C-alpha cells in the first residue's frame, strides 16, 4: 500500500484539528499521522483550551490551564478579570457600592450604572429610615411624656408601675410610691393666671427631677399632682426623700407661698397598683387635713 500523499496528510491533519475544535474530542488519526509529535501537541493544546473554556463557562473560575503562549495568557487574564468581578459583585451584595469595573466595555458601563443606582437607592433608604426613626422617637415621646413639664405622663407611669411590681414580686426588693401635690394651686391660677401656674408646674418638675436617681420615675398624674416611683427604696427612705423635696420647694419658692404636700406608701405584695395608689392618696389627704406643707406615710 502506497504512502499517503502530502496533500492528503495535510487535509487529514486539518480535519483532525477541525473535529477537535468542533467536538472537544480527539479523533483517531490515520496511519500516516499517528505518532506525529507536533500534531499531537496541537491537538492536546486544543483539548486543553476546550476544557478550560468549558469549565470557565460553567462558572469554575479556579480552573487551571497548563499551556503557555499569548492565547493562554489572554484566557488567564480573562479568568482573573472574571474572578475579580465575582469578588466585586460579592462586595456589592454586602453593601459596598464603591465598586467599579474598568474592563469589558459595555458590560463595565452597565455594571457601574447598576452599582451607582443601587448606591443612590441605598442612600435614599438610609435617609428615609433615619426620618422614620426620628418620627417614631417623636411619636413615642409624645405618647409617653407630659407636654407641659416633659416628665412621664399617666399612661407611661401606669406601664412602669406594673413592670416594677412584677419585679418586686419576683425578687422581693422594696418599692415605694410618692404622690406630690402643690398646695393651694388653684389660688396661684386665680391670682397670678394660668401662665404663672404652668411655670410653677414646670419648675416643680425640674426641682423633683434633679433630686431623684436615674432608676426612679417621675410623672405628672394630672393637674397639680405628680407621682414618684422609687425602686429598691423602703418606706423610711421614701419619706426621707419626700421630706427633702418638701423643704427644697419651700426654700426655692417656685412661686410666692407655694408649698407641697406628699403622701408616701411602700408596696405590699400582692396588692394592685390601684391599691398602692389609694393608700398613698389617703396619706396625702391626711397631710392636707393636718395643715399642708408636710409629708405623711401610709399606714
Burial of 32 (0-12, 13-18, 19+ CB in 10 A): middle
* CA distance linking residue 266 with residue 172, whole number of Å: 13
Q: Give the CA diameter of the chain.
A: 140
In order of 25, 83, 219, 261, 294, the CA distances from 289 in angstroms are 109, 86, 24, 10, 10
* CA distance linking residue 275 with residue 173, whole number of Å: 18
The answer to whether the CB of 229 falls within 8 A of the CB of 179 is no
In order of 36, 62, 83, 87, the CA distances from 93 in angstroms are 52, 21, 15, 10
Whether 224 is a known active-site residue: answer yes
Torsion angle, CA of 219/223/224/229, rounded to 10 degrees?
Answer: -20
Q: Which of 158, 170, 159, 157 is closest to 270 using CA atoms? A: 170
- Residue 259, Ramachandran bin (φ over 0: left; ψ between -120 and 50: alpha; else beta): beta
Classified as helix, coil or strand, 287 is helix
Q: Which residues contact 132 (CB under 8 A, 6 or more apart)?
A: none
- Angle CA 202–206–207, to nearest 5: 120
* CA distance linking residue 36 with residue 17, whole number of Å: 13
Q: For the chain, give the number of residues.
A: 299
Question: Which of these is catalytic: 124, 127, 130, 224?
Answer: 224
Other Cβ atoms less than 10 A from the Cβ of 102: the count is: 7
Q: Any idea which residues carry the catalytic annotation? A: 224
Amino acid at each position: 500500500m502506497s504512502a499517503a500523499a502530502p496533500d492528503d496528510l495535510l487535509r487529514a491533519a486539518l480535519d483532525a484539528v477541525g473535529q477537535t475544535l468542533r467536538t472537544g474530542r480527539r479523533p483517531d488519526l490515520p496511519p500516516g499521522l499517528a505518532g506525529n509529535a507536533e500534531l499531537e501537541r496541537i491537538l492536546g493544546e486544543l483539548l486543553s483550551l476546550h476544557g478550560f473554556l468549558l469549565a470557565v463557562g460553567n462558572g469554575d473560575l479556579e480552573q487551571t490551564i497548563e499551556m503557555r503562549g499569548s492565547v493562554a495568557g489572554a484566557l488567564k487574564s480573562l479568568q482573573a478579570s472574571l474572578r475579580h468581578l465575582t469578588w466585586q459583585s460579592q462586595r456589592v451584595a454586602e453593601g459596598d457600592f464603591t465598586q467599579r469595573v474598568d474592563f469589558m466595555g459595555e458590560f463595565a458601563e452597565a455594571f457601574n450604572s447598576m452599582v451607582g443606582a443601587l448606591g443612590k437607592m441605598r442612600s435614599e433608604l438610609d435617609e428615609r429610615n433615619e426620618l422614620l426613626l426620628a418620627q417614631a422617637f417623636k411619636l413615642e415621646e409624645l405618647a409617653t411624656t407630659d407636654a407641659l413639664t416633659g416628665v412621664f405622663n399617666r399612661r407611661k407611669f401606669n406601664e412602669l408601675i406594673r413592670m416594677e411590681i412584677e419585679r418586686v414580686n419576683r425578687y422581693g426588693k422594696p418599692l415605694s410610691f410618692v404622690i406630690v401635690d402643690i398646695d393651694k394651686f388653684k389660688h396661684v391660677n386665680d391670682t397670678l393666671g394660668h401662665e404663672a401656674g404652668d411655670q410653677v408646674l414646670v419648675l416643680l418638675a425640674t426641682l423633683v427631677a434633679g433630686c431623684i436617681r436615674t432608676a426612679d420615675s417621675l410623672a405628672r398624674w394630672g393637674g397639680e399632682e405628680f407621682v414618684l416611683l422609687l425602686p429598691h427604696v423602703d418606706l423610711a427612705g421614701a419619706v426621707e426623700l419626700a421630706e427633702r423635696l418638701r423643704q427644697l420647694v419651700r426654700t426655692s419658692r417656685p412661686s410666692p407661698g407655694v408649698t407641697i404636700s406628699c403622701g408616701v406608701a411602700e408596696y405590699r405584695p400582692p396588692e394592685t397598683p390601684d391599691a398602692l395608689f389609694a393608700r398613698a392618696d389617703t396619706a396625702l389627704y391626711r397631710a392636707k387635713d393636718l395643715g399642708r406643707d408636710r409629708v405623711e406615710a401610709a399606714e
